[in-house]
Amino acid sequence: MSGQGNLTHLIYRVSGRRVMLSVDLASIYDVAPKALNQAVKRNRDRFPGDFLFRLTLSEARRLKPEGDKLGWGKYTKYPPYAFTEQGVAT
């Protein structure tokens, strides 16, 4: 993992749940966000709703000011996935 150290700045609260975004997890694991998203799609049965969900457009827009690093909307038309604590550990 390339992103070692304190990761608390990568944890967001969305819909009352603490989550990490797919774009941040991809960075931690040093893979392209597109590759991570494809892996999730191919293995959807490993990520039930309490492990992973896609942000709504309004949720993604609310997070955008917190970190322009999301890159959402710039390179993709889909908002990022949000991984819950259980989903991150999978």
The pLDDT tens digits for 16-44 are 889 998 888 998 999 998 899 899 989 88
Tell me how many domains the chain contains.
1
Report if residue 55 sits inside a domain: yes
What is the pLDDT, as a whole number, of residue 49?
77
Long-range contacts of 6-11 (CB under 8 A, 24+ apart): none
Query: Which residue segment(s) compose the domain that 64 sits in?
Result: 8-89
What is the pLDDT, as a whole number, of residue 2?
46
Report if residue 15 sits inside a domain: yes
Amino acid identity at 68: D
Report if residue 1 sits inside a domain: no
> Are 83 and 20 contacting, i.e. CB atoms less than 8 angstroms apart?
yes
Report if residue 64 sits inside a domain: yes
pTM: 0.74
Q: Alpha-carbon distance 74 to 65, whole Å?
A: 14
